[in-house]
A and B are shown apart, each in its own frame.
Chain A
Amino acid sequence: AQSVTQPDARVTVSEGASLQLRCKYSYFGTPYLFWYVQYPRQGLQLLLKYYPGDPVVQGVNGFEAEFSKSNSSFHLRKASVHWSDWAVYFCAVSRTGGYKVVFGSGTRLLVSP
């Protein structure tokens, strides 16, 4: 069965600094991969998605992620963090053509001034 590990429960970044949030997946085959963001008191919103193809995918608000089959990873990056990026970020995996989306435990991003 597929699973997702986000090793960092909390990450603190200074505003304007670069960001990387880590995600490792476990899946036999080529998965669909996602990053979702949850702002305070809101539901989850899709940031970006990977379907088999270009390993670097662009998302909203300057976010991007890179798929690595050899490392079983799908790390999220942003060149310059803004205070409004303060949120919880979830990595997720789905089987190609399947319906069940499995989420990681989330990484809380704190942005310091």
Chain B
Amino acid sequence: NAGVIQTPRHKVTGKGQEATLWCEPISGHSAVFWYRQTIVQGLEFLTYFRNQAPIDDSGMPKERFSAQMPNQSHSTLKIQSTQPQDSAVYLCASSLAGGNTGQLYFGEGSKLTVL
């Protein structure tokens, strides 16, 4: 069991550039979540997929953030026109059974720094 894999571990972008973060969930897990972690806001829910379908994106900033899950083995989080306030650790998690057990398996995170 390789666990949830996130790439890149660190990304530095200039203001206004695009950043794409990748997540490979644990094989057999049907639920994928994205969270954002900052010192000030803590862990914020961004979005949730179940069986590759987007179920809840209520935590996503609407204008520049988008997430996709084109197949069961990976999900992407894209941030367009990055801003310094987007600097954070982005955590991907997966779960069995549609996520309704509440038990999440997290990746090590992708640390995004926007200069």
Chain A positions near chain B (C-beta within 8 angstroms): 32, 34, 36, 41-46, 49, 90, 92, 94, 97-106
Contacts of A44 in B (CB 8 A): 91, 93, 104, 106
Contacts of B48 in A (CB 8 A): 99-100
**Alpha-carbon separation in the docked complex, A88 to B45 (Å):** 18
Contact of A34 among B4, B42, B100, B102 (CB under 8 A): B102
Contacts of A97 in B (CB 8 A): 100
- Are B103's CB and A46's CB within 8 A? yes
19 A-B residue pairs with CB within 8 Å: A32-B101, A32-B102, A36-B104, A36-B106, A42-B108, A43-B93, A43-B109, A46-B104, A49-B102, A92-B102, A94-B102, A98-B102, A99-B48, A99-B50, A99-B95, A100-B48, A101-B33, A101-B104, A106-B42
- Are A99's CB and B31's CB within 8 A? yes
Contact with A along B79-115 (1 / 0, CB 8 A): 0000000000001010100111111111111000000
Contact of B107 among A43, A94, A100, A102 (CB under 8 A): A43
Shortest Cβ distance from B31 into A: residue: A99
**Alpha-carbon separation in the docked complex, A28 to B105 (Å):** 26
Contacts of B108 in A (CB 8 A): 41-43
Say whether B12 faces chain A, with CB atoms less than 8 Å apart.
Answer: no
State which residues 13-62 of B face A: CB under 8 Å: 31, 33, 35, 42-43, 45, 48, 50, 55-56
B44 to chain A, nearest CB (A): 9
